[in-house]
Structure 1
Amino acid sequence: MELSGTILAGPEYEPLEGRVVVESGTITGIEEVETASSDIVCPAFVNAHTHLGDSIAKEAGRGLSLDELVAPPDGLKHRLLADADRSELIESMRRSLSFMTAGGTAAFLEFREGGTAGVEALLEAAEGADIEPVVFGREEIDVLEVADGFGASGARDADFAAERTAARKADKPFGIHAGERDAHDINPALDLGPDFLVHMVHAEGIHLERLEDGDTPVVVCPRSNLVTGVGTPPVAELLERTTVALGTDNVMLNSPSMFREMEFVSKLCDVTDRDVLRMATAAGADIAGLNCGVIEPDREARLLVLDGDSDNLCGVQDPIRAVVRRAGASDVRNVVTPPK
């Protein structure tokens, strides 16, 4: 397979005219040649934080606080999940996965409620879909037997030392929400030695200093933070110290659109469009341990092809800026994923 057009190549996403050569689901070469194609070829997105179970209750809970919406065990989300029919839950997640795939997302990191049964429902929803689930189970240690890792709600909710130890013993990643409501749970979360943190809206100087070795990546979800009224994460400051990836968080609060998330961050935060594209691709892939997110030889071919001659994108002068700020699902010509 060959994909031609403007290629956003390498770790810096440098635009070049040419083609990407793919064999058996792996990028084998990038050739800089003249081409008649107006397509834009970039890495497909990795959504680094989702809660897809919320697909059963989109836009529910208007006017509720963060705790009233999502805090375990009695937040609105948890009550709705407890009452949901399993087949209804699976179908609603399947529909969200279809939406994500059509919007250029090739992989996602899911914090899945419901213990082992919740993980199994998500995996059933993802069967046959052209998207890679990386599932972080919750609520019981035994979930590590079926999940790819453990996703903790937050250090204010419980002592997750046992879960952290179990994840380490199973050689699986441990992620945890931190600094979403306030700063009080950030140091306790960092003390657990997590593989990544989610949110960090209220990161302060002492916390930023602890991130300076770059060993603890952060996933930010700014649209969700806006909806819940908790503030805006210090994205630029976080990027100076560690890997920062982008997630869309609860489907109840926002559509799982990486196009919308990128545009929001690019226009709200003092970061470059190249940084934002990396947050939406390579950074999430690195956290998930996936060999994608960059167009270069020996990477998995998880690629997004945009129609550069669409009514929306024709005349674009800066393809990186166009992908981050302007493009949308209607511009997607193709999403390439490795054969299963």
Structure 2
Amino acid sequence: MEQLEGTVLVGDSFEPISGRVVVEDGHIDAIEETETDSANIILPAFVNAHTHLGDSVAKEAAVGLSLEEAVVPPNSLKHRKLTGADRTELVTAMRQTLRFMQQTGTVSTLDFREFGESGASALREAAEPLAIEPFIFGSDELSVLDIADGYGASGANDDTFSEERAACKERGAPFAIHAGEPDATDIHPALDLEPDLLVHMVHAKQEHLDRVSDQSVPIAVCPRANAVLDVGRPPIPELLEHTTVALGTDNVMLNQPSLFREMAYTAKTFDVTAREVLRMATTAGAEIAGLDCGTIVPGKRAALTVLNGGSDNLAGSVDPVEAVVRRATARDVDRVVF
């Protein structure tokens, strides 16, 4: 049994209480409200809702490039770098990124992994010695579903993906697809596939939002990556009115996979509350992937991030939720538990 003391952000509302979280056999056994001298802030571990970890072999290589030049297959800089990397180099680079994510409070990441079975197995290998568990959306070949958790499609303008969608339905595996990143032309075709997850939706209009709501399709947004690639801003407040919205950091070659940075950017750029943003970085991603974490309630898996609320950065903060979302950084992480 382990007891973590401090200000605990409890339940779906992240209500701050002074007390302790009792952890036993890897699960939250109890939450006890009591006075404590600890300045720590205890929150659910993050779930990064969209990454491309293979990009770890080419960090910052795409600075200044357009979306097509940077990441669009098959001739982008990203795909040339991935093709040129040997497996050892790829596994090492992805493991370093996963280790950074683990150290900064991320328990899982929903990753779009290129290059079929070999790509998915390389990511499994990279994660083997770590506690962080990637949820892999494989691509490029149907047989990837023997290794991956689901299928991740590049976009409905590139292919119909009807065969891949059918294979996912047959196996009971989730199907995810990019949509509405450079423009809106691929959103309706993507929704026609009845996906389990849409990524980006930067150019979503009301007609798209109505379909998203009718079909109950969750969305992963990546606002920092959208800004770097200059493709626009996702309508996050409107998306939140229609469906579950989760936060991702997208391509590692463009952005550090830090949900602290993503939360701060989102909270300061969009008309959303700190609690909505924290939910996007924790609960929403866990729900999409079917993970038993994302909130601090008894019975849930103990996937927790403990921040040093007395750090030079966080000391004196009035609202712990606002502090976590708008101010906290990787340096404030005291420990992770999962």
| TM-score > 0.5, shorter chain as reference | yes
* Structure 1 residue 244 corresponds to structure 2 residue 245: yes
Tell me the distance in 2 between the aligned counterparts of 1:252 and 1:25.
34
CA distance in 2, matches of 1:34, 1:322: 21
The residue identity in structure 1 corresponding to 2:65 is: L
CA distance in structure 1 between the partners assigned to 2:320 and 2:57 by the alignment? 36
Question: What whole-Å deviation, never above 9, does each CA across 1:255-306 have from its counterpart, x for those lacking one?
Answer: 0000000000000000000000000000000001101000001111000000
- Kept in 1, the 8 Å contact 2:28–2:302? The answer is yes
Residue in 2 aligned with 1:285?
Answer: 286
Shift of 1:62: 2.7
What amino acid is aligned across from residue 261 of structure 1 in structure 2?
E
> What SS does the corresponding residue of 2:23 show, helix, strand or coil?
strand
Secondary structure of residue in 2 paired with 1:240: helix
- What count of residue pairs does the alignment treat as equivalent? 337
CA contact (8 A) 2:153 2:176 kept: yes
Q: Displacement, 1:215?
A: 1.3
1:195 partnered with 2:196: yes
Letter in 2 for 1:245: A
Matched, 1:30 2:31: yes
Cα deviation digits, residues 2-27 of structure 1 (max 9, x gap): 11110000000000001111111111
Query: Any idea what the Cα deviations from partners look like across 1:122-177, whole Å, max 9, x if unmatched?
Result: 01000111201100100111100110000000001111011001011111100000
| CA RMSD across the alignment | 0.8
Corresponding residue of 2:309: 308
Write out aligned runs for 1:1-340 (5 A).
Answer: 1-213=2-214, 215-337=216-338
**Counterpart secondary structure, 2:213:** coil
In 2, the alpha carbon distance for the partners of 1:61 and 1:242 equals 32
Return the offset for 1:63. Answer: 2.5
Give how far 1:213 is off: 3.6
User: 1:212 corresponds to which letter in structure 2?
Assistant: S
The alpha-carbon deviation at position 214 of structure 1 amounts to 6.5
C-alpha displacement of 1:85: 1.3
TM-score, normalising length: structure 1: 0.98
TM-score (normalizing by structure 2):
0.99
Contact 2:274 2:321 (C-alpha < 8 Å) held by counterparts: yes
Contact 2:63/2:254 (8 A) holds in 1: no
Answer whether contact 1:110 1:135 (CA < 8 A) is retained.
Answer: yes
CA contact (8 A) 2:139 2:153 kept: yes
Structure 1 residue runs of 4 or more that deviate by more than 3 Å after TM superposition: none
Inter-partner Cα distance in structure 2 for 1:73 and 1:289: 31
* Contact map agreement 1:214 1:241 (CA 8 A) in 2: no
Sequence identity (%) = 61
Where 1:335 maps in the other structure, the secondary structure is strand
Contact 1:19–1:33, Cα closer than 8 Å, also in 2:
yes
Contact 1:213 1:242 in 2 (8 A): no
Secondary structure of residue in 2 paired with 1:123 = helix
**Structure 2 unaligned spans of 5+:** none
